[in-house]
Amino acid sequence: MAAFWLLVWQLLAMLVGQEVVLSPPLTVFRTLIRLMGTADFWLSLGATLLRILLGYGLGVLLGTALAFVCWKSRIARRLLTPFMSVVRATPVASFIILLLFLARNQWIPVIIAALMVMPLLWANCLKGIEETDRGLLEMGQVFELSRGWQIRHIYGPSVKAFFLPAAVTALGLAWKAGVAAEVLAAPEHSVGGMLYRAKIYLENPEMLAWTLCVVGVSMGLEHLLKRRLREVRR
Partner 1 sequence: MMRLEHVGKDFDGKTVLTDFTFLFAADRSYLLTGASGAGKTTLLRLLAGLEKPDRGQIVRPEPLRLRMVFQEDRLLPQLTVLRNVMLETGREDIALRLLRELELDAEAAALPETLSGGMKRRAAIARALCAQPDVLLLDEPFNGLDEALRRRTAALIFGEMRGKCVICATHYPEEVRAYADELLEIRPFPDDFPQIG
**DSSP notation for the chain:** -HHHHHHHHHHHHHHH--TTTS--HHHHHHHHHHHHTSHHHHHHHHHHHHHHHHHHHHHHHHHHHHHHHHHH-HHHHHHHHHHHHHHHHS-HHHHHHHHHHHS-TTTHHHHHHHHHHHHHHHHHHHHHHHTS-HHHHHHHHHTT--HHHHIIIIIHHHHHHHHHHHHHHHHHHHHHHHHHHHHHH--SS-HHHHHHHHHHTT-HHHHHHHHHHHHHHHHHHHHHHHHHHHHHH-
Contact string (CB under 8 A) for partner 1, positions 31-70, x = contact:
----------------------------------------
Q: Which is nearer to partner 1, 140 or 187 (CB)?
A: 140
Q: How far is the CB of 149 from partner 1 (least distance, A)?
A: 8
Q: How far apart are the first and last CA of the chain?
A: 32
Is residue 148 within the footprint of partner 1 (CB under 8 A)? no
CB-wise, 89 or 142, nearer to partner 1?
142
- Regarding 139 and contact with partner 1 (CB under 8 A), the answer is yes
Pick between residue 41 and residue 163 the one whose CB is nearest to partner 1.
Answer: 163
- Minimum Å gap between C-beta 172 and partner 1 is 28
Of 22-30, 63-71, 153-161, 175-183: span binding partner 1 (CB under 8 A): 153-161
Rounded-to-integer distance, Cα 104 and Cα 37, Å: 30
Q: Among 145, 212, 217, 225, which residue interacts with partner 1 (rule: CB under 8 A)?
A: 145
Q: How many residues does the chain have?
A: 234
138 binds partner 1 (CB under 8 A): yes
By CB under 8 A, tell whether 154 contacts partner 1: yes
State how far the alpha carbon of 133 is from the alpha carbons of 126, 130, 155, 180, 215, in Å. 14, 9, 8, 40, 39
How many residues belong to the site for partner 1 (CB under 8 A)?
Answer: 13
Please identify which residue in 39, 74, 143, 148 interacts with partner 1, judged by CB under 8 A. 143
CB of 146 to partner 1, least distance (A): 10
User: In the stretch 108-137, what mask flags binding to partner 1 with x, by CB under 8 A?
Assistant: -------------------------x-xx-
161 binds partner 1 (CB under 8 A): no
Write down the least CB distance from residue 139 to partner 1, Å: 4
The residues of the shown chain that bind partner 1, judged by CB under 8 A, are: 133, 135-136, 138-139, 141-145, 153-154, 157
